[in-house]
Amino acid sequence: MSSIGTAQTLVPSKGSQLFASFANRVRKLDLGLVLAWAAIAVVILFATFPWLFTTYNPVQGVPVEKLKAPSALHILGTDALGRDTFARIVYGAVHSLTGAFVAVSVGLTVGTALGVIAGSTGGIIEEAIMRLVDVLLSIPGLLLMLSIIILLGFGTVNAAIAVGITSIAAFARLARSEVVRVRRSDYVEAAFGSGGTFFAVLWRHVLPNSLVSVLAFAALQFGGAILAISTLGFLGYGAPPPTPEWGLLIAEGRNYISTAWWLTTAPGIIVVIVVLAANRISRSLGNGR
């Protein structure tokens, strides 16, 4: 009596297939991009729900607790007035992020509008707009920001508006170049040839295909705006004391850098992390991944 072996094909179960698919997706994740989004998410939570992260008052200190080194009670130490440094960083997130959002909104709205008008109309209108853009680009950014703040007054919002105005020219040039590039494409010419009106083609074809790079640049400018607003706060042109703004925190701690290094190091590291995270996200948006 002979036995004949039969070959059997093993079919993986549905659970193993799902696990393999999940593992494959995890391997494809960009760790740097994940960390960048995580950093931005944490800072947004700082600005939105600061009381979830600390119970200390950011503007009222305890004199007997002044200049305490980082410990279990104060994880980032205290300043010269006995205020918890971590609490001031957490509550300062709303000022820095709000200022950056206002700055990017001003540059994105005004600059993109000017760039779209210049790129879509051409002729003397384009020449006039681009010459204005050239004038703005010829003025050093810090000098222009300080001049605008002197006219508007000190404060986080005015500093944000000043930063936003300095970014209008960059947004306008990018938007104009993208609109001109898309307008010369075959599908836009076909849309005009099939009877499409100027505004209909602009809305349906030109804008959706030309603003991707502008939005990626806006993410890049968000990090730059935080850095610029912190710079103005460090120089004393931003939020007034005792507002816990990141640039002001660095400025307040510079006189104690040899004895209380955490006063400048902690907020400085936060600014660096947020700026690098915004730059990484901007690069992923520009590359499509």
Identify the pLDDT of residue 109. 92
Could you tell me the pTM of the whole model? 0.80
Q: Which two tokens stand for residue 188?
A: 């836009």
Q: What residue segments make up the domains of the chain, in order of their start?
A: 100-287
To 10 degrees, the CA torsion angle through 243, 248, 251, 256?
40
Quote the tokens at residue 107.
């540059």
Task: Give the chain's length.
Answer: 289
Q: How far is CA 269 from CA 50, 232, 264, 275, 280, in A?
A: 19, 17, 9, 10, 16
Residue 162: predicted pLDDT: 93
And the tokens for 149? Answer: 């703040």
DSSP-assigned beta bridge partners for residue 84: 78
Token digits of residue 207: 């804008």
pLDDT score of 269: 95
pLDDT tens-digit profile, the chain (289 residues): 444 444 445 555 656 555 555 455 555 667 889 999 999 999 999 999 999 999 999 998 888 999 999 999 999 999 999 999 999 999 999 999 999 999 999 999 999 989 888 887 878 988 999 999 999 989 888 899 999 998 988 888 899 999 999 999 999 999 888 888 877 776 666 766 676 666 676 777 677 777 888 888 898 899 899 999 999 989 888 888 888 899 999 999 988 988 899 999 999 999 999 999 999 988 887 665 5
C-alpha 276/C-alpha 274 separation (Å) is: 6
What is the spatial distance between Cα 115 and Cα 173, in angstroms, rounded to a whole number?
Answer: 6
Q: What is the pLDDT of residue 286?
A: 66
Please report the pLDDT score of residue 249 as a whole number: 93
Tokens of 260: 């209380």
**Alpha-helical regions (H) of 49-167:** 85-121, 123-138, 141-152, 156-166
Amino acid 5: pLDDT: 47
pLDDT score at 105: 94
What is the per-residue pLDDT for 3? Answer: 47
The verdict on whether omega for the bond into residue 241 sits within 30 degrees of 0, i.e. cis, is: no
**Any idea which fold 100-287 has?**
MetI-like fold (1.10.3720)
Paired strand residues for 91:
none
Q: At what angle do helices 123-138 and 85-121 cross, to 10 degrees?
A: 150
Distances (CA, A) of 239 to 44, 95, 133, 232: 19, 8, 29, 9
Helix axes 212-235, 141-152, angle to 10 degrees: 70
pLDDT for res 11: 53
